[in-house]
Amino acid sequence: MKNTTPKKKIVYDIILGAALLLIALSVFIFVECTRTGGELVTVELDGEEIGRYPLDTDVRLPLKDGKNVLVIEDGKAYMESADCPDKVCVRTGKISRVGEQIVCLPNRVFIRVVGEGDEILPIN
């Protein structure tokens, strides 16, 4: 006895997969298009906020005694260098929209983009 899958079932599976993919893509595009540009970058070291810096002012900030270097220029922030082994924070790239963040776990450095009136909830 042959085990054959009806063609109708395969067609419905393809339609369902395409519909789910379309919904996921629509949600992604909606979220990306509605996210606003940030005004400030918050810098946390060891879970403690050490400063807020405007994105419209160019600055180069050595953090953790120079272990990490944060650069803010042209309305974007990025980690220029870090002494951690994997360099995920450096490879994160430039951030400028509210909610985006750069994290260096080995050095416990957290960089977040926030709006002017946004309240930051502490990470425990």
All structural domains of the chain with their residue ranges: 1-34, 40-114
Predicted confidence at residue 118, as pLDDT, reads 59
- Superfamily assignment of 40-114 in CATH? N-utilization substance G protein NusG, insert domain (2.60.320.10)
Residue 91: its pLDDT value, please?
96
Task: Identify the pLDDT of residue 107.
Answer: 92
Return the structure tokens found at 50: 């050490």
Backbone angles phi and psi of 118, in degrees to 5: -70, 140
Q: Which two tokens stand for residue 83?
A: 């002494």
pLDDT below 70 — which residues of the chain? 1-5, 117-124
What does the pLDDT look like over 69-87, one tens digit per residue?
Answer: 999 999 999 999 999 999 9
**How many Å separate Cα 36 from the centre of its chain?**
13
What single letter denotes the amino acid at residue 115? G
pLDDT at residue 54, rounded to an integer: 93
CA distances from 46 to 19, 49, 93, 113 (A): 44, 8, 22, 18
